[in-house]
Amino acid sequence: MMTKKNGTSVNVLLGDKHNAMLDRSKELSGRSKRQEASKRLADHLERFGERWEQPVSQDKA
């Protein structure tokens, strides 16, 4: 029986520079390229939210 993964699939076209960076990063982490890209995108969204121009404030006081 196949399990269904929750989430969405996104295809992106990376330039040579960023593709090479992702390749090096995945080698260092031991993850697949798909896993590395997913983790990096999720991290970026957590840190920058919907407004990527400004980091999300860390202090909620």
pLDDT tens readout for residues 3-44: 777 889 999 999 999 999 999 999 999 999 999 999 999 999
- For 29, half-sphere exposure in the C-beta direction (CA atoms, 13 angstrom radius) is 16
Query: 40: domain range?
Result: 19-48
For residues 47 and 55, the answer to whether their CB atoms sit within 8 Å is yes
pLDDT tens-digit readout, 40-56:
999 999 988 887 777 66
Evaluate if residue 57 carries a pLDDT over 90: no
- Residue 11 near residue 22, CB atoms below 8 Å: no
- HSE-CB of 35 using CA atoms within 13 angstroms: 8
Query: Is 12 within the bounds of a domain?
Result: no
- Confidence at residue 27, expressed as pLDDT on a 0 to 100 scale: 98
Distance CA 41, CA 45 (A): 6
What does R_g of the chain's alpha carbons equal in angstroms?
15
pLDDT confidence of 61, banded at 50, 70, 90?
A: very low
Query: Domain count of the chain?
Result: 1
In a domain, residue 23? The reply is: yes
